[in-house]
């Protein structure tokens, strides 16, 4: 099997993306800028509301972990992705779209509907996700391939996998396998919603398995019950080898073996924040698995994230190596 930089495991979801006025959210009592788990009927009700208000919906193959693996491939890295899709039209479309991006397809299938996420982008560019997990909830131990893991420098997992017992058992099995095989583990905390629900489990993961953690300021504060950024960084640095803490418009902080690096923010025009954290993780993982410094890896992540924010959709739509070369002078 060919060598890989990163093997990602997450929920494969068809993204349904729509730009909405804040009034659309307020009218329906939807809390802004977090991920909500919904039923298929609830998601359909929201889609019907968009149709009634004549608001367009765009379709793409997505999910947080897949976005990051695709970002790595766009930069020239080697990545693979696992998750569970349904044997339906959306599942077939998802598989085709993933393969088109250059990511190694390790998807499993089951009898049921492929998951989907209705992403409502507000006027300020913030995204509110209404996610129906579908077949992704049925992830089983055999759906995470230990041989692909062995071929990878990192196993990348997201907090979204903690939402069902089946997924949780599969992830714990994969973590034990990674530890046995001495494969490094990177964990994204994913969303304040996830952190609130699974705080104790995430702390155990960080202390017992993770070599690298990705989080934004709100997720870190929620996890650690603090509102002091430096304190959050110090605590996380005691638990993991590498911390990538993003600060929104204020840039990012990287801690690597106790040494701190500040990543300056780039001047950008906010269009849509969907996928920004995924893009940062992609750029940082690409750099760290291709012998770049934590500082340059963070700069690549910030540049790719900024480019994603300036467009509609969860992934950069241009030539990623050219973007990095022109923006920050790093040749990939």
Question: 236 lies in a domain?
Answer: yes
Question: 34 lies in a domain?
Answer: no
Residue 327's pLDDT is 96
pLDDT bracket for residue 206 (50, 70, 90): very high
CATH number for 292: 3.40.1190.20
Query: Over the stretch 17-51, which tens digit does the pLDDT of each residue have?
Result: 999 999 999 999 999 988 899 999 999 999 999 99
Domain of 107 in residue numbering reads as 4-12+63-113+136-328
Give the span between the Cα atoms of 332 and 319, in whole angstroms. 12
Residue 181's pLDDT is 96
Query: Over the stretch 181-196, which tens digit does the pLDDT of each residue have?
Result: 999 999 999 999 899 9
Q: Which three-class secondary structure state does DSSP give residue 189?
A: coil
Look up the pTM and report it.
0.91
- Cα 234 from chain centre: 23
Residue 193's pLDDT is 86
**Three-point CA angle 179, 279, 315, nearest 5°:** 125
Question: 71 lies in a domain?
Answer: yes
User: Is there a contact between 67 and 322 (Cβ–Cβ < 8 Å)?
Assistant: no
Question: 109 lies in a domain?
Answer: yes
| Tokens of residue 163, six digits | 């939402």
Q: Which three-class secondary structure state does DSSP give residue 31?
A: coil
Q: Residue 145's closest CA among 8, 278, 12, 282?
A: 8
Question: 195 lies in a domain?
Answer: yes
Q: What is the pLDDT averaged over residues 247-258?
A: 96
Give the span between the Cα atoms of 53 and 195, in whole angstroms. 33
Question: 23 lies in a domain?
Answer: no
Q: Are strands 108-110 and 242-246 parallel, antiparallel or unpaired?
A: unpaired
Question: 238 lies in a domain?
Answer: yes
Number of domains in the chain: 1
User: Is there a contact between 116 and 14 (Cβ–Cβ < 8 Å)?
Assistant: yes
33: left (phi over 0), alpha (psi -120 to 50) or beta: left
Residue 108's pLDDT is 97
Q: Are strands 13-19 and 116-121 parallel, antiparallel or unpaired?
A: parallel
Question: 75 lies in a domain?
Answer: yes
Give the span between the Cα atoms of 207 and 218, in whole angstroms. 20
Residue in the block written with tokens 């990012």: 252
């Amino acid at each position: 099997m060919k060598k890989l930089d990163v093997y990602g495991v997450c929920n494969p979801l068809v993204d349904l993306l729509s730009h909405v006025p804040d009034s659309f959210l307020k009218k329906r009592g939807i809390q802004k800028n977090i991920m909500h788990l919904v039923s298929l009927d609830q998601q359909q009700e929201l889609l019907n509301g968009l149709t009634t208000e004549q608001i367009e919906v765009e379709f793409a193959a997505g999910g947080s972990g897949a976005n990051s693996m695709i970002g790595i491939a766009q930069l020239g890295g080697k990545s693979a992705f696992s998750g569970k899709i349904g044997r339906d039209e959306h599942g077939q479309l998802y598989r085709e779209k993933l393969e088109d991006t250059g990511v190694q397809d390790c998807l499993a299938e089951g009898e049921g509907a492929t998951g989907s996420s209705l992403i409502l982008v507000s006027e300020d560019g913030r995204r509110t996700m209404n996610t129906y997990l579908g077949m992704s909830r049925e992830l089983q131990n055999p759906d995470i391939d230990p041989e692909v893991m062995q071929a990878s420098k990192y196993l990348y997992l997201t907090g979204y996998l903690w939402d069902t017992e089946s997924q949780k058992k599969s992830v714990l099995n994969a973590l034990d396998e990674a530890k046995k095989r001495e494969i490094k583990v990177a964990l994204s905390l994913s969303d304040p919603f996830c952190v609130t629900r699974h705080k104790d489990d995430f702390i155990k993961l960080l202390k017992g398995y993770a070599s690298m953690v990705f989080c934004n300021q709100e997720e870190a504060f929620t996890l650690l019950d603090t509102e002091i950024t430096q304190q959050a960084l110090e605590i996380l640095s005691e638990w993991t080898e590498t911390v990538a803490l993003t600060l929104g418009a204020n840039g990012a902080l990287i801690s690597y073996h106790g040494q701190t690096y500040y990543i300056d923010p780039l001047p950008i025009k906010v269009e849509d924040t969907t996928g920004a954290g995924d893009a940062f993780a992609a750029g940082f993982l690409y750099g760290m698995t291709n012998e770049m410094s934590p500082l340059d890896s963070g700069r690549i992540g910030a540049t790719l994230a900024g480019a994603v924010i300036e467009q509609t959709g969860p992934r950069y739509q241009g030539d990623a190596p050219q973007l990095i070369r022109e923006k920050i002078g790093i040749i990939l």
